[in-house]
Amino acid sequence: MGRKTPVSDASRRVIARNRRATHDYHILDTWEAGMVLTGTEVKALRHGKASIKEAFARVRQGEVFLESMTITPYEHGNRYNHDPQRPRKLLLHRKEIARMIGAVERQGLTLIPLDLYFRDGHAKVTLALGKGKKQYDRRQDLKRRDAEREMSRAASRKYRP
């Protein structure tokens, strides 16, 4: 298992969330990683101008990079603005990176960002190790969710005065 740090909701301000990740992938493991950002990227993130819908992480030369994440250029950044699609380096421990390399290369798994948030003033991303779902897996998940919803509705109707 990855490093699981207890994070209270009070100290965590979510900027972007990848809602499709749990629909498209079986989540096997998660990590919290810091990011190397420029000044205008941090200012744009503070305004909530980010999207991680198409983003994924890639391991290159022993380092992990977040690719295809879009951070909209900062309005007041003039010529010092950043490239919105540039790869961003993630800050992880060497053992965590080694585990990711093994899983991605040997098992054919994917590294997906789940959440992008600020914690205690630092931009963080929750990175997940996922295995792609097949169409029938998605259908089973939908059926299970519908059944749970129906059971909760029936239980709430039963105990109404």
Q: In whole angstroms, what separates CA 46 from the centre of its chain?
A: 17
- Residue 123's pLDDT band (boundaries 50, 70, 90)? very high
Q: What is the pLDDT of residue 90?
A: 95
Contact by Cβ (8 Å): 90, 81: no
Q: What is the pLDDT of residue 133?
A: 82
Positive or negative torsion for Cα 134, 138, 4, 51: positive
Token digits of residue 136: 């029938």
Residue 121: inside a domain:
yes
> Mean pLDDT, to the nearest integer, of 136-154?
87
Percent above pLDDT 90 for the chain = 43
> Mean pLDDT, to the nearest integer, of 98-115?
87
Residue 76: inside a domain:
yes
Distance CA 161, CA 159 (A): 6
What does pTM read for this prediction? Answer: 0.76
Nearest to 125 by CA among 25, 40, 21: 21
Could you list the residue range(s) of the whole structural domain that residue 93 is in? 12-133
Token digits of residue 40: 């205008």
Residue 114: inside a domain:
yes
Residue 158: inside a domain:
no
Domain count, the chain: 1
Q: What is the pLDDT of residue 57?
A: 92
Q: What is the pLDDT of residue 24?
A: 86
Tell me the CATH number at 77: 2.40.280.10
Give percent helix, percent strand, percent coil of the chain, each to the nearest 5.
35, 35, 30
